[in-house]
Structure 1
Amino acid sequence: MLTDAKVRAAKARPKPYKLTDCYRLYLLVNPNGSKLWRWSYAFDGKQKSLALGIFPMVSLAAARCKRDEARELLEQGRDPVIVKQLTFATNLEVSRYTFERAACEWHENTKATWAKVHAADVIRSLERDVFPKIGKFPVVELNPPKILEVLQAIEARGAIETAKRVRQRISAVFCYAIAKGLASTDPAEKLGTVLKPIRKGKQPAITDLRRLRKMILDAEEDYARPITRLALRLLALTAVRPNELRGARWDEFEDLNGAKPLWRIPAARMKGDLDRKAEERGEHLVPMTPQGVAVLRALWPLTGDCELLFPGNRFPNRPMSENAIGYLLNRAGYHGHHVPHGFRAAFSTIMNEWVERHGKDHDRQVIDLMLAHIPKEKVEGAYNRAAYMPRRRELAMIWADMLSEGLPSPTVLIERPAKPIGEKPRRRMPLPVGADFQFPEPGRAA
């Protein structure tokens, strides 16, 4: 048997020679002085040799341990050389399987189940917040502290909700890698409990005009009842509260065929306490633009024989579901980015920016009137809801013109599918009314 002293004392000779140990372990001494550990064994009737390392990096004791591990494989009917080669190849593949590679594979595999906007948002968030920090790391090398470092960097800029969404996406990537056998744990799984809580406050809203138009386009291209699409468009144009839109009745509209169409929302349907709802002349006046009237014109063949503009799918005497528009926005990929109530914030932000550059005196107060906001210094009875009507019409037109740029005609929206492709529609939608159509005028003159 060999000893450490014999191994260290072995000198180079003109030709290679062996110093043998027990159980076929030997040290190969080369003419250049290198000393290599080898183990000789027979597998499937063939004589083979397994390299175990170089002395002194691998000591005699370590070489014997490696030999014993190889003998166990041999007793299991496995060739130690093949096992070593496969292990090396697997480890090499694992080291090459970076987080960015895993994330891109996961995204490509999953995006068909998402709306295009959402799929783009997912990969964009990873490219912006994750890949620069951990994209080149092998997934097996990443641990919870490293993932937390990425998420806390997102929190540091105030994007608390984004940090939570990114954590979910990172976790999904690790689940995908685990399923492929290239990771064993998900280091992001438990990190949700240590992230900052989301502060409850303003509802999410897109307040950039170009993004807002893009969102409307995306939502209107998704499957939905035509009534829901038209409700979304009218909500965006009028910036009323979603519940005020859901309960809209045809007899609340005046002069739809004339020059000054108007929507008179009764005080009883407005937000406020019982005093506000019972207040005489407390209705909210909404000047209707040509774009808004065009929505009503497209809607008339669908619900003109009902009291409500937007009745429910099952009960025509009840308003549409309060979640219908929100679900449409979510399906289009805008969950957490914009809610139906967000059109009011969008109108306020965009129009206040516009009046700052191009507006007149009192335009900010006019915008508040258009949103049915009551100034803090005013009491209900002293608040003139019919004030500044000519200017309100002008600002409503400016808003409608800006918002409608690039949007299709409302009549197009009733022709789009109400259900996902492949599902049979319930019934054929009525054709839109002609350009010479005249609304009945049951209400008061504007």
Structure 2
Amino acid sequence: MMLTIKAIDSAKPKDKAYKLPDFESLYLYITPSGTKSWRYDYQFNGKRKTLTIGKYPYISLSDARNEKELAKQLLAHGKDPSFERKKSALLANVERDNTFKSIASEWHSSKKSTWSKKYANEIISIFERDIFPYIGNEPITKIKPLEMLTVLKAIESRGALEIAKKARMRCGEVFRYAIITGRAEVNPTAELSSAMAKTQSKNFPFLATDAEMSEFLNALKGYSGNILTRYATMLLIYTVPRTIELLTLKWSDINFEQKLATIDEEVVKKDRVHLIPLATQSIEILKFLQPITGHGEYVFPNRNHPSKPMSNGAILHVIRRLGFANRASGHGFRHQFSSILNEHGFNSDWIEKQLNHEEGSVRGIYNHAQYLEGRREMMQWYADYIDNLTD
């Protein structure tokens, strides 16, 4: 005879624990202290086992019967209901502990030793102000692209486009960190850049998409003007120095064996030289130019005054002749470089070092050696990335 709610409520504790059977090995277990809990007995691999479903009245009679049916389905598929319940509980605990906030905080702790205190505080402030209040307590595996986009759009809505962009890139790093450490499988920020407002400098226009950059590179490939300015523009894209740093580059600054270019302190206007790792593509350009200008001092000499460097306006002239005036600029290539590498998860300190942004300090000088090998790898990756955009 199946149990009724009346029979359950009227059941009293006894000196010893006893069972009130329901149906198909489901029963209510009543202890001497009066605790009532649902249990289900079953056979698995020839052994008798018991699944504890939960306490009554928190688990009602109908809920207990539903849980029993679910257990029967698991058994029909060769699965142990007790083991599956424990596994689900464990995964729930892991999911509860692996919130976006907890993993972001862990990621930030792992990164801040490589950042300045000011920059580390800036990043965590963005998370605490704009991200954590909305998705901080959510399991990182549950966050979807639309939800992430909504959070970022809220930042954009107050006109903080640069902060929104930085938040997207840093959140992307958190998701990639979670993937690497086995606590997530998907990065929901990966495809969001095209859905966000573009931040474009009025003074330094840049090519905001791969399609635009591909268009420019193919136009540059077919450029019929001065060959030196064409290769100067290409080398500027591969190496991303400031335009004046490239055009005042001397042959004595090039170390082909070490694949390095050294920008002098006087040029960078800082208290140390700036080292630029040269990708294979950059070395090939320089070796091509060596028979042409290698007899002089400058890699890119002025056409009318060979003892002087090429004019700063030479590359801008190429950009204009290609039809990209107000769409691209020498400085814009640096902006694009930063955006692409940050989006692909490269070390932000390597990127800043390559752009020569950090202050001239003991830490900055030390980091030249610390980051050089990482920057070599990064610059080769970037040169290959640029080549893949060319038909």
Look up the match of 1:2.
Answer: 2
SS at match of 2:263: helix
CA distance in 1, matches of 2:369, 2:183: 44
Letter in structure 2 aligned against 1:130? F
CA distance in 2, matches of 1:152, 1:28: 54
Q: Does the CA contact (< 8 Å) of 1:10 and 1:29 recur in 2?
A: no
Aligned CA-pair RMSD:
5.4
SS at match of 1:49: strand
Distance 1:138 1:24, change over 3 A: same
Q: Does the CA contact (< 8 Å) of 1:118 and 1:334 recur in 2?
A: no
Deviations 1:351-384 (A, max 9, x none): xxxxxxxxxxxxxxxxxxxxxxxxxxxxxxxxxx
Query: In the TM superposition, what is the alpha-carbon distance from 1:51 to its structure 2 partner?
Result: 0.8
Deviations 1:23-75 (A, max 9, x none): 21111233444321100123344332111122232222221221122223334
CA distance in 2, matches of 1:404, 1:167: 29
Q: Does the CA contact (< 8 Å) of 1:232 and 1:325 recur in 2?
A: no
Which of 84-93 and 143-152 deviates more?
A: 143-152
Letter in structure 2 aligned against 1:309? Y
CA distance in 2, matches of 1:165, 1:62: 48
Find out whether 1:70 has 2:67 as its counterpart: no
Look up the match of 2:97.
Answer: 96
Look up the match of 1:87.
Answer: 88
Look up the match of 2:126.
Answer: 129
Matches within 5 A, 1:277-356: 306-311=295-300, 333=349
Distance 1:65 1:305, change over 3 A: closer
Select the residue among 230, 234, 243 that pairs with 2:267.
234
Distance 1:339 1:33, change over 3 A: closer
SS at match of 1:36: strand
Query: In the TM superposition, what is the alpha-carbon distance from 1:142 to its structure 2 partner?
Result: 3.9
Distance 1:5 1:129, change over 3 A: same
Q: Does the CA contact (< 8 Å) of 2:28 and 2:36 recur in 1?
A: yes
CA distance in 2, matches of 1:167, 1:194: 11
SS at match of 1:166: helix
Look up the match of 2:12.
Answer: 12
Query: In the TM superposition, what is the alpha-carbon distance from 1:88 to its structure 2 partner?
Result: 1.0
Which of 326-335 and 35-44 deviates more?
A: 326-335
CA distance in 1, matches of 2:363, 2:77: 70
Letter in structure 2 aligned against 1:66? E
How many pairs align? 268
Q: Does the CA contact (< 8 Å) of 1:12 and 1:32 recur in 2?
A: no
SS at match of 1:130: helix
Look up the match of 2:236.
Answer: none
Sequence identity (%): 25
Letter in structure 2 aligned against 1:30? T
CA distance in 2, matches of 1:308, 1:118: 38
CA distance in 1, matches of 2:8, 2:360: 86
Distance 1:202 1:13, change over 3 A: same
Look up the match of 2:40.
Answer: 39
CA distance in 1, matches of 2:141, 2:40: 31
Query: In the TM superposition, what is the alpha-carbon distance from 1:85 to its structure 2 partner?
Result: 1.6
Deviations 1:286-329 (A, max 9, x none): xxxxxxxxxxxxxxxxxx984443449xxx99969977997799
Q: Does the CA contact (< 8 Å) of 2:108 and 2:124 recur in 1?
A: no
CA distance in 2, matches of 1:404, 1:37: 70
CA distance in 2, matches of 1:118, 1:326: 25
SS at match of 2:41: strand
Distance 1:72 1:186, change over 3 A: same
From the CA coordinates, give the structure whose radius of gyration is larger. 1
Letter in structure 1 aligned against 2:85? K
CA distance in 2, matches of 1:308, 1:408: 29
Deviations 1:210-262 (A, max 9, x none): xxxxx99xx9xxxx94784335741548xxxxxxxxxxxxxxxxxxxxxxxxx
Look up the match of 1:412.
Answer: none
Look up the match of 1:138.
Answer: 139
Distance 1:159 1:306, change over 3 A: farther
Distance 1:233 1:107, change over 3 A: farther
Matches within 5 A, 1:168-187: 168-178=169-179, 182-183=183-184, 186-187=187-188
Q: Does the CA contact (< 8 Å) of 1:37 and 1:53 recur in 2?
A: yes
SS at match of 1:229: strand
CA distance in 2, matches of 1:46, 1:40: 10
Structure 2 unaligned segments of length 5 or more: list them.
Answer: 206-240, 246-252, 271-292, 316-329, 339-346, 377-391
Q: Does the CA contact (< 8 Å) of 2:354 and 2:375 recur in 1?
A: no
Matches within 5 A, 1:241-260: none
Distance 1:421 1:128, change over 3 A: closer
CA distance in 2, matches of 1:119, 1:176: 21
